[in-house]
Amino acid sequence: MTDHEYKRRRRGPGLSQDYLRQIEDGEIVPTPEELDLLGEVYEMTEIEQRFLYLLASNEVNGPAPIPDIVLSTAHRCRVDTHSPLPAAVLDHRWNILYANPAYRRVLRGIGAEEDNFLDWMFLDDNARSIVIDFATEARQLVGRFRFAIATHPNDPQLVELLERCYSDDLFITAWDNPAILADGPATTAMHWYHRDSGRTLRVIEENLPGSQWLTVHLAEPAD
Protein backbone atom coordinates (compact mmCIF):
# COMPACT_ATOMS: atom_id res chain seq x y z
CA MET A 1 0.00 0.00 0.00
CA THR A 2 1.43 3.40 -0.92
CA ASP A 3 1.54 6.29 1.56
CA HIS A 4 -1.09 8.07 -0.54
CA GLU A 5 -3.42 5.05 -0.41
CA TYR A 6 -2.92 4.71 3.35
CA LYS A 7 -3.76 8.38 3.94
CA ARG A 8 -6.82 8.04 1.69
CA ARG A 9 -8.01 5.07 3.69
CA ARG A 10 -7.85 7.07 6.93
CA ARG A 11 -10.51 9.55 5.89
CA GLY A 12 -12.34 11.53 8.54
CA PRO A 13 -15.79 13.10 8.83
CA GLY A 14 -17.40 16.43 8.04
CA LEU A 15 -14.58 18.53 6.64
CA SER A 16 -12.93 18.47 3.24
CA GLN A 17 -10.51 15.64 2.67
CA ASP A 18 -7.77 18.15 1.81
CA TYR A 19 -8.19 19.94 5.13
CA LEU A 20 -8.08 16.66 7.05
CA ARG A 21 -4.98 15.66 5.11
CA GLN A 22 -3.31 18.91 6.17
CA ILE A 23 -4.16 18.15 9.81
CA GLU A 24 -2.83 14.59 9.51
CA ASP A 25 0.36 15.80 7.80
CA GLY A 26 0.94 18.47 10.44
CA GLU A 27 0.59 21.32 7.95
CA ILE A 28 -2.29 22.68 10.03
CA VAL A 29 -2.61 22.28 13.80
CA PRO A 30 -5.95 23.82 14.83
CA THR A 31 -6.25 25.34 18.27
CA PRO A 32 -8.99 24.02 20.59
CA GLU A 33 -10.99 27.18 19.83
CA GLU A 34 -10.68 26.56 16.10
CA LEU A 35 -11.76 22.97 16.55
CA ASP A 36 -14.84 24.11 18.48
CA LEU A 37 -15.65 26.59 15.73
CA LEU A 38 -15.21 23.95 13.04
CA GLY A 39 -17.60 21.71 14.92
CA GLU A 40 -20.23 24.45 14.97
CA VAL A 41 -19.76 25.55 11.35
CA TYR A 42 -19.98 22.01 9.98
CA GLU A 43 -22.65 20.96 12.51
CA MET A 44 -20.52 18.00 13.46
CA THR A 45 -21.85 15.35 15.78
CA GLU A 46 -20.20 14.73 19.15
CA ILE A 47 -18.37 11.68 17.86
CA GLU A 48 -17.16 13.53 14.75
CA GLN A 49 -15.75 16.27 16.97
CA ARG A 50 -13.97 13.71 19.15
CA PHE A 51 -12.43 12.20 16.02
CA LEU A 52 -11.22 15.60 14.81
CA TYR A 53 -9.73 16.38 18.25
CA LEU A 54 -7.95 13.02 18.10
CA LEU A 55 -6.37 13.82 14.73
CA ALA A 56 -5.25 17.24 15.95
CA SER A 57 -3.92 15.84 19.23
CA ASN A 58 -1.75 13.36 17.33
CA GLU A 59 0.00 16.26 15.60
CA VAL A 60 0.61 18.17 18.87
CA ASN A 61 1.40 15.33 21.27
CA GLY A 62 2.24 12.48 18.90
CA PRO A 63 0.22 9.28 18.53
CA ALA A 64 -0.64 7.30 21.62
CA PRO A 65 1.99 4.67 22.43
CA ILE A 66 1.27 1.14 21.29
CA PRO A 67 0.06 -0.61 24.43
CA ASP A 68 1.51 -3.76 25.93
CA ILE A 69 -1.34 -6.21 26.32
CA VAL A 70 -1.41 -8.35 29.45
CA LEU A 71 -3.94 -11.17 29.65
CA SER A 72 -4.44 -11.95 33.31
CA THR A 73 -5.76 -15.02 35.08
CA ALA A 74 -8.88 -13.04 35.94
CA HIS A 75 -9.50 -12.33 32.25
CA ARG A 76 -9.22 -16.03 31.42
CA CYS A 77 -11.55 -16.89 34.27
CA ARG A 78 -14.14 -14.46 32.86
CA VAL A 79 -14.22 -16.62 29.73
CA ASP A 80 -14.02 -19.97 31.49
CA THR A 81 -16.86 -19.21 33.90
CA HIS A 82 -19.14 -18.36 30.96
CA SER A 83 -18.77 -21.88 29.54
CA PRO A 84 -20.54 -23.80 28.09
CA LEU A 85 -21.77 -20.63 26.39
CA PRO A 86 -19.45 -18.88 23.90
CA ALA A 87 -17.01 -16.28 25.24
CA ALA A 88 -13.69 -14.73 24.22
CA VAL A 89 -11.28 -11.93 25.13
CA LEU A 90 -10.20 -9.55 22.35
CA ASP A 91 -7.60 -6.80 22.30
CA HIS A 92 -7.76 -3.35 20.67
CA ARG A 93 -6.64 -4.93 17.37
CA TRP A 94 -9.51 -7.46 17.55
CA ASN A 95 -7.03 -10.29 18.08
CA ILE A 96 -8.81 -13.15 19.82
CA LEU A 97 -6.48 -13.71 22.76
CA TYR A 98 -8.46 -16.34 24.62
CA ALA A 99 -11.64 -18.15 23.63
CA ASN A 100 -13.52 -21.13 24.96
CA PRO A 101 -14.38 -24.10 22.72
CA ALA A 102 -18.00 -23.00 22.35
CA TYR A 103 -16.89 -19.68 20.83
CA ARG A 104 -14.82 -21.45 18.20
CA ARG A 105 -17.62 -23.89 17.43
CA VAL A 106 -20.10 -21.09 16.74
CA LEU A 107 -17.70 -18.86 14.80
CA ARG A 108 -16.67 -21.39 12.21
CA GLY A 109 -13.37 -20.46 10.62
CA ILE A 110 -11.85 -19.10 13.84
CA GLY A 111 -8.69 -21.13 14.31
CA ALA A 112 -7.62 -23.09 17.35
CA GLU A 113 -4.72 -20.67 17.80
CA GLU A 114 -4.83 -16.88 17.96
CA ASP A 115 -7.07 -15.35 15.29
CA ASN A 116 -8.54 -11.96 14.48
CA PHE A 117 -12.23 -11.07 14.61
CA LEU A 118 -12.03 -8.42 11.87
CA ASP A 119 -10.22 -10.81 9.56
CA TRP A 120 -12.98 -13.33 10.19
CA MET A 121 -15.77 -10.77 9.67
CA PHE A 122 -14.53 -9.47 6.34
CA LEU A 123 -12.43 -12.27 4.87
CA ASP A 124 -14.16 -15.49 5.95
CA ASP A 125 -17.30 -16.50 4.07
CA ASN A 126 -18.71 -18.11 7.22
CA ALA A 127 -19.26 -14.73 8.85
CA ARG A 128 -22.09 -13.63 6.59
CA SER A 129 -24.20 -16.66 7.45
CA ILE A 130 -23.46 -16.49 11.18
CA VAL A 131 -23.61 -12.76 12.04
CA ILE A 132 -27.23 -11.66 11.80
CA ASP A 133 -27.74 -8.23 10.18
CA PHE A 134 -24.19 -8.56 8.96
CA ALA A 135 -23.99 -5.24 7.08
CA THR A 136 -25.01 -3.19 10.14
CA GLU A 137 -22.56 -4.99 12.41
CA ALA A 138 -19.79 -4.68 9.83
CA ARG A 139 -20.26 -0.90 9.52
CA GLN A 140 -20.14 -0.51 13.30
CA LEU A 141 -16.86 -2.40 13.40
CA VAL A 142 -15.42 -0.25 10.64
CA GLY A 143 -16.35 2.85 12.62
CA ARG A 144 -14.47 1.52 15.64
CA PHE A 145 -11.53 0.50 13.49
CA ARG A 146 -11.30 4.06 12.16
CA PHE A 147 -10.83 5.32 15.73
CA ALA A 148 -8.27 2.61 16.45
CA ILE A 149 -6.20 3.55 13.39
CA ALA A 150 -6.40 7.24 14.29
CA THR A 151 -5.30 6.49 17.87
CA HIS A 152 -2.40 4.22 16.87
CA PRO A 153 -1.48 5.18 13.29
CA ASN A 154 2.01 3.73 13.69
CA ASP A 155 0.88 0.33 14.93
CA PRO A 156 2.11 -2.07 12.21
CA GLN A 157 -0.43 -4.74 13.13
CA LEU A 158 -3.32 -2.31 12.66
CA VAL A 159 -1.89 -1.09 9.36
CA GLU A 160 -1.54 -4.67 8.13
CA LEU A 161 -5.09 -5.43 9.28
CA LEU A 162 -6.34 -2.44 7.28
CA GLU A 163 -4.50 -3.67 4.20
CA ARG A 164 -6.07 -7.11 4.49
CA CYS A 165 -9.62 -5.93 5.16
CA TYR A 166 -9.48 -3.37 2.37
CA SER A 167 -9.80 -6.23 -0.11
CA ASP A 168 -13.47 -6.71 0.91
CA ASP A 169 -16.08 -4.65 -0.97
CA LEU A 170 -18.29 -3.99 2.06
CA PHE A 171 -15.30 -2.89 4.10
CA ILE A 172 -14.13 -0.56 1.33
CA THR A 173 -17.57 1.04 1.03
CA ALA A 174 -17.84 1.60 4.78
CA TRP A 175 -14.23 2.78 5.19
CA ASP A 176 -14.60 5.30 2.39
CA ASN A 177 -17.70 6.75 4.06
CA PRO A 178 -16.30 9.24 6.62
CA ALA A 179 -19.62 9.44 8.45
CA ILE A 180 -19.18 5.91 9.79
CA LEU A 181 -17.61 6.34 13.24
CA ALA A 182 -17.83 4.51 16.55
CA ASP A 183 -15.49 4.82 19.52
CA GLY A 184 -16.44 1.78 21.56
CA PRO A 185 -18.47 -1.43 21.69
CA ALA A 186 -22.01 -1.10 20.43
CA THR A 187 -24.67 -0.36 23.04
CA THR A 188 -26.94 -2.92 21.39
CA ALA A 189 -26.14 -6.63 21.29
CA MET A 190 -24.97 -8.53 18.23
CA HIS A 191 -26.82 -11.66 17.21
CA TRP A 192 -25.18 -14.81 15.86
CA TYR A 193 -26.77 -17.86 14.31
CA HIS A 194 -25.62 -21.13 15.88
CA ARG A 195 -25.72 -23.58 13.00
CA ASP A 196 -25.48 -26.73 15.13
CA SER A 197 -28.46 -25.90 17.33
CA GLY A 198 -30.39 -23.65 14.93
CA ARG A 199 -30.73 -21.09 17.73
CA THR A 200 -29.96 -17.39 17.79
CA LEU A 201 -27.37 -16.14 20.26
CA ARG A 202 -27.40 -12.67 21.79
CA VAL A 203 -23.83 -11.38 22.08
CA ILE A 204 -22.69 -8.44 24.17
CA GLU A 205 -19.23 -6.91 24.09
CA GLU A 206 -18.00 -5.08 27.15
CA ASN A 207 -14.76 -3.61 28.39
CA LEU A 208 -12.86 -5.75 30.86
CA PRO A 209 -12.14 -4.14 34.25
CA GLY A 210 -8.57 -3.02 34.70
CA SER A 211 -7.73 -2.68 31.01
CA GLN A 212 -8.83 -0.08 28.48
CA TRP A 213 -7.49 -2.29 25.67
CA LEU A 214 -9.40 -5.53 26.28
CA THR A 215 -13.03 -6.43 25.65
CA VAL A 216 -14.97 -9.66 26.11
CA HIS A 217 -17.60 -11.28 23.88
CA LEU A 218 -20.29 -13.03 25.93
CA ALA A 219 -23.01 -14.99 24.13
CA GLU A 220 -26.24 -16.42 25.47
CA PRO A 221 -29.45 -17.77 23.90
CA ALA A 222 -31.61 -14.95 22.56
CA ASP A 223 -34.87 -16.77 23.31
Q: What are the pLDDT digits (tens) for 161-184?
A: 999 999 999 999 998 887 787 767
Residue 131, pLDDT above cutoff 80: yes
Where does the pLDDT of residue 56 fall: very low under 50, low under 70, confident under 90, or very high at 90 and above?
Answer: low
- What is the mean pLDDT of the segment spanning 54-66? 60
**pLDDT for position 13:** 45
Residue 9, pLDDT above cutoff 50: no
Lateral strand order in the sheet of 190-194: 115-116, 95-99, 87-90, 215-221, 199-207, 190-194
CA atoms within 13 A on the CB side of 118: 29
Q: Which residue has the higher pLDDT, 26 or 194?
A: 194
Please answer whether residues 185 and 92 qualify as being in contact, where contact means their C-beta atoms are separated by less than 8 angstroms.
no
**pLDDT for position 125:** 93
**pLDDT for position 64:** 62
Query: Domains of the chain (ranges plus CATH)?
Result: 3-61 (no CATH), 73-221 (3.30.450.180)
**pLDDT for position 177:** 83
Mean of pLDDT over the chain = 81
Phi and psi, residue 216, nearest 5°: -130, 135
Q: Which residue has the higher pLDDT, 82 or 39?
A: 82
- What is the mean pLDDT of the segment spanning 73-84? 94
76: which DSSP letter?
A: H
Pick from 15-24, 62-71, 111-120, 158-167: least confident:
15-24
